[in-house]
Amino acid sequence: MKKSKEIKRKRAEASSKYEKVHYLLDKEEFIEPLDEEIESIRAKLNIAVGEEEKRKNILKKLTGIQQQHAINSMIVQMFNILVPYLLELSKKLSKISELHRKFYMSLVPLIDSKDEEWFSMAIEEIKTREEKFQEYVDSLSNLVNVARTVSLEGEEGKEKLKSSFYYWFERRFRTGGIKENLKEYVSYLRECQPVLDLGCGRGEMLELLKEEGIEAIGVDINSEFIKECRDKGLNCIKADAIGYLSSLEDESLGGIFSSQVLEHFPVEVVEKIIAISWRKVRKGGVFISETVNVASPAAFHGAFLLDPTHITPLHPQTLSFFLESSGWRVEEIIWKNLPEQLLEFPAHNEREAAIRENIRRINGFLFSHQDYAVVARKP
């Protein structure tokens, strides 16, 4: 994404320089025609020396003072007009020559930037096609897995089918930039080892923690997610959240992290997870939970309602209250993923200022951050 923006910036910069030089060149290449006065003088001079008879007797005529004076006067007049004109023309041609040089020099970066942009577009197209192809392969693989699952009986078959459905649901709707989005949480967990990643999913946070040398374990109920995590060499276990938390010794954890997890549980389970977590984390440890910001209509009607497995909408103040009621001290709310908002404009009068303020309020309500995370610490 950043590379694409940089390529577009280079292209725009090169185009701007090209257009500027092109404009100056067009402006300078216009040459004013000779003044009509010089044409008039030249006509008179032609009359004076143009006739055959006068050409034959030109020497005689030149000896005449008056005729000589008239011709000399016309010649001087022509030179007085021509010399400054030619000097100015020489300067103009020199300037045009320099502009031509700059014009051709500006073509090189413009062509290079266009080539780079087209090459980048071609790479993006290839990448998109590869991703589409991979989706087709994944879909076929999914069909095979579902076919195998259908052949299973009882609870095992139901669990496999459920895990497979949600795994492919997330592959479709929750992709791209997840790992990058989670990076800022690492600094909170560095001094709070070991870390439990509750609902670790495909293991993006576990990867980050492993790269930083932070001791961590992930837990998830979805067998497909656990398989992918283990394929990546990540430390994880298949278990339900409350069951696994309950099996741990009190104050055995330094921190608990969850991303887009708590909204999948009924409210009473959310409260229970928070309460048990307080017992399992030692003093000074942290509890970080990221979820959909349902206080934002754009997020609620988008990300929250999109996932049919979401159960409890957690307002930032509600989640904070649940944590504080269990003994946690809420230290910070991190706001994430601000969507595209309505465009504002400079105000030049009271009416425009009122409209601008209304737009600001609409943005603050309808298009506020799509996600948030509560950072709480055990006193």
Mean pLDDT of 174-187: 86
3-state SS assignment for residue 205: helix
Query: Is residue 90 very low, low, confident or very high in pLDDT (cuts 50, 70, 90)?
Result: low
Strands (DSSP E) contained in the chain are 195-198, 216-220, 236-238, 253-259, 281-292, 329-336, 371-377
Residue 217 C-alpha from the chain's centroid: 33
pLDDT tens sequence across 104-160: 676 667 676 666 666 677 667 767 776 766 665 566 566 556 555 555 556 655 666
Whether 200 has a pLDDT exceeding 90, the answer reads yes
Mean pLDDT of 164-181: 74
Per-residue DSSP letters for 80-134?
Answer: HHHHHHHHHHHHHHHHHHHHHHHHHHHHHHHHHHHHHHHHHHHHHHHHHHHHHHH
pLDDT of residue 170: 76
pLDDT tens sequence across 254-274: 999 999 999 999 999 999 999
Query: HSE of 214 in the Cβ direction (CA atoms, 13 Å)?
Result: 28
pLDDT of residue 280: 97
Structure-block tokens of residue 303: 């990300």
Residues 6+ apart with CB under 8 A from 322: 270, 271, 274
Mean pLDDT of 330-342: 87
pLDDT tens sequence across 2-56: 566 676 777 677 677 767 766 666 666 555 555 565 566 656 656 655 544 455 4
pLDDT of residue 135: 67
pLDDT of residue 203: 94
Please state which of the four CATH numbers 3.20.20.100, 3.30.70.100, 3.40.50.150, 3.40.50.300 is assigned to the domain occupying 177-377: 3.40.50.150
How many helices and strands, by DSSP H and E, does the chain display? Answer: 16, 7
pLDDT of residue 52: 43
Query: Is residue 284 very low, low, confident or very high in pLDDT (cuts 50, 70, 90)?
Result: very high
pLDDT of residue 30: 55
Structure-block tokens of residue 101: 């040089």
Amino acid residing at 226: I
In angstroms, the CA 238 to CA 223 distance is 7
Whether 75 has a pLDDT exceeding 90, the answer reads no
Whether 309 has a pLDDT exceeding 60, the answer reads yes
